[in-house]
A and B are shown apart, each in its own frame.
Chain A
Amino acid sequence: MAMNYNAKDEVDGGPPCAPGGTAKNRRPDNTAFKQQRLPAWQPILTAGTVLPTFFIIGLIFIPIGIGIFVTSNNIREIEIDYTGTEPSSPCNKCLSPNVTSCICTINFTLEQSFEGNVFMYYGLSNFYQNHRRYVKSRDDSQLNGDHGALLNPSKECEPYRRSEDKPIAPCGAIANSMFNDTLELYLVGNDSESTPVPLKKKGIAWWTDKNVKFRNPSGDTPLEERFKDTAKPVNWVKPVYMLDPDQDNNGFINEDFIVWMRTAALPTFRKLYRLIERKSDLHPTLPAGRYYLNITYNYPVHSFDGRKRMILSTISWMGGKNPFLGIAYIAIGSISFLLGVVLLVINHKYRNSSNTADITI
């Protein structure tokens, strides 16, 4: 009788099954996963969580920002632009193209002495090492010492792939445009006697680059022999196996070359050139006084409005002089604190007027 019909008894929506057979139960399992009843944490943004967050962020960020800013301010740095585009600059004579190897000298004075390790950088501006065609113009297998790639460089290196009917080693536009100015630093003593400042040329590249990524082609023969069927890059004066008499810094593992091959992200950058190691705790590494910089001006940048400069800098745990992070942290910390106060006021005013009582039905 239909009166006693109870839908819950029916498990199958289809026609009734034969008596004696197993009813196919299409009801889904009553597990928490399938019925979407998994235990869960349901956070709600209330005033009690949001406002302390703003205040805590403010209170944490401002001291961090001050610390970074103070650290950055304590770093000593001097930048000397030696492009030579101004007529009064000593390097102006090097701009004309018919002078092959021009030497110019720039005098400068250090107001304060530099303590600890001092790092000497060369910096370039308006030089787009991050241009897409430039970035891909290299062959990392060749730079890793692969013999096949040495003689048959990748097509990405075009048009710097072959020259004089021989493969170029190292190929590509990045290697071709390697920075080749030579910078020497001299200290002018009290008696006008100049002493050269000792510059260390090894230890300037990343360890992984020098020891893993860049390798000379293997072999027992001298380096020149291993490169014998290759040509030097078009704009280079010396081939790659004559970059440095020290065999640990020659060929592809020359550290200046490695530093140059690590392309910069932005058009204004600086690259580590030399290290000036600290002498002892008693004497500053670079005492205050007069110095002059001897430049062998080989690298032309004025045709694309680029600029060259030499930078001397001390270093902290945060790196060089860069107040950006310090200022940003202080700014964001203050803004966060202010917003916390504003939200506190708004919350106080509006919550009291709106109804947060239980919902009435």
Chain B
Amino acid sequence: MGTPKLLGATAIEDKLQDGVPETIITLNKAKIKVWVLTGDKQETAVNIAYACNIFHDEMDGIFIVEGKDNETVQQELRDKMKPGCLLESDPINSYLTTKPKIPFRIPEEVPNGTYGLIINGHSLAHALEGNLQLDLLRTACMCKGVICCRMTPLQKAQVVELVKRYKKVVTLAIGDGANDVSMIKAAHIGVGISGQEGMQAMLNSDFAFSQFHHLQRLLFVHGRWSYNRMCKFLSYFFYKNFAFTLVHFWYAFYSGFSAQTVYDTWFITFYNLVYTSLPVLGLSLFDQDVNETWSLRFPELYEPGQHNLYFNKKEFVKCLLHGIYSSLVLFFIPMGAIYNSVRGDGKEISDYQSFSMIVQTSLLCVVTTQIALETTYWTMISHIFTWGSLGFYFCILFFLYSDGLCLMFPNVFQFLGVARNTLNLPQMWLSIALSMILCMLPVVGYQFLKPLFWPVSIIDRIHHCMRHPLPPPIRTKLKHPSSRRSAYAFSHKQGFGALITSGKTLKTKLPKQK
């Protein structure tokens, strides 16, 4: 028997997908923090982090938490925290002593530099217990990038849940293997990458695609558009229903508070179903504020969604006030036009059915104008839906108020002849025009003044620059890692065995929170 003879060495390179570093840079520009939760060993994880720009050489410091027991871990975490925060009168410490019932949210703390944190699975098992959780979270949230290596799938889910519970943020977990499934299910948004590792991650996720760099499009194009559309949809829907319903409130003062409706019952039935559903559907499907090229170029556009700027309590109140104002206009202008008044041939104009007809037509014109002002992306379909719905209203009107239908069911369709007798009145069209202008002018004025006095973000300036051609993209210089960093690591360290046998990775039943 002689000495062993080295025959050779094998190496497996796990290549990064295309576009990963650029994606991470873009995510950072949009103020999205990127944490890496991996089962790989520390060296591999750190090298990958440098390769895809989560860590870079200009960072002020990289902290490594490697303690094997609670005290050491706590000491390491507290030491790292000190440079960036105050420890006296700490809300965390007071929370830990009093344990209030209401859910506690850690406030945002700003570090005094860019730092990175590396923590491995064993230390994490200690750090995820009891009091240390909050220390871990505060330290980690102040770092620009966090690497957790040697993690079990359960720990990945636990880290995500920790962030969800104590911070007012939205979490997205993206992974490609079966060991990422628990993390994907724990996060607010789970994204599975379909690829070499099978279908498990995809089947458990909310979104699935095949390339990591598609995450950019998911967030900055589709996510952003979806947020804008939802907010516009919600505020318009509340507005049109407030304007519709509050007219009855004003009418009550003039109808003896007897709950008499202003509109024809068929109009009430069809209003939300037929007359105003298609335009808002078109708005929700097709509306874009900037097109996809600009969305990807300016990740800063993503910020309003992060801060919930487009639909919150304040916006709802604005919607309500706008609805109240519109309902006042919609009721009092027709009322003034027909009050104690008659037609051009001397006959009746101030009857209930004519008044009803004038108010309902004014209402539809006003809400159609409102959605026309809110739509910023007019495709052919938007035109058809918006103007077509208004035209459809007039067609249905003639049908519902026609002789044939009203004579067949006189007690159900009672508005015989109202369309013919009212639609040729100058008072009707003059009052509709006045209502439309009165409702439209404040909106136009507000939309014009808002970017001047209360600019929300870069978006207001973008709109003016959209007229000009896009400036050429500045190629973001990728910081190539220095030559001593490589994506190779030696597999000479111990594996998971000790961690698993310690029992700290078993899921314990959390006590029921009353």
Contact = CB atoms under 8 A, between A and B. Distances in A.
Interface of A: 2-3, 5, 7, 10, 13-15, 36-47, 50, 53-54, 57, 61, 64, 68, 117, 119, 121, 123, 128-133, 135, 139-141, 143-144, 146, 154, 156, 204-209, 212-213, 259, 262-272, 275, 313, 315-320, 322, 324-325, 328-329, 332, 336, 339, 343, 346-347, 350-351, 354-356, 358-359, 361
Contacts of A350: 452-453
Given A332-B438, A359-B458, A42 B335 contact: no
Contacts of A356: 461, 464
A46 B464 contact: yes
Given A140-B411, A268-B339, 7 more contacts: A5-B15, A131-B258, A135-B352, A213-B417, A317-B344, A325-B336, A328-B336
Contacts of B259: 132
A117 B431 CA distance: 26
Name, among A156, A267, A316, A358, the residue most crowded by chain B CB atoms within 10 Å (CB to CB): A358
B254 A324 contact: no
24 contacts: A10-B210, A40-B288, A40-B379, A42-B466, A61-B437, A132-B259, A140-B414, A207-B417, A213-B406, A262-B348, A262-B351, A265-B335, A265-B352, A265-B354, A266-B254, A266-B338, A315-B344, A315-B346, A319-B341, A322-B337, A324-B337, A325-B427, A359-B465, A361-B471
Nearest to B444: A50
Interface string B282-303: 0000101001100000100000
Interface in B424-479: 426-427, 430-431, 434, 437-438, 441, 444-445, 447-449, 452-453, 458, 461-468, 471, 474
A40 B378 contact: yes
A14 B199 contact: yes
B410 A43 contact: no
A8 B255 CA distance: 69
B90 to A, nearest CB: 39
Interface in B245-260: 254-256, 258-260
B407 interface: yes
Nearest to A317: B344
Contact of B461 (A205, A264, A339, A359): A359
A265 B338 CA distance: 9
B349 interface: yes
A212 B403 contact: yes
Nearest to A7: B211
Given A50-B444, A146-B410, A131 B379 contact: no
Contact of A346 (B452, B458, B461, B462): B452
Given A44-B466, A339-B441, A13 B195 contact: yes
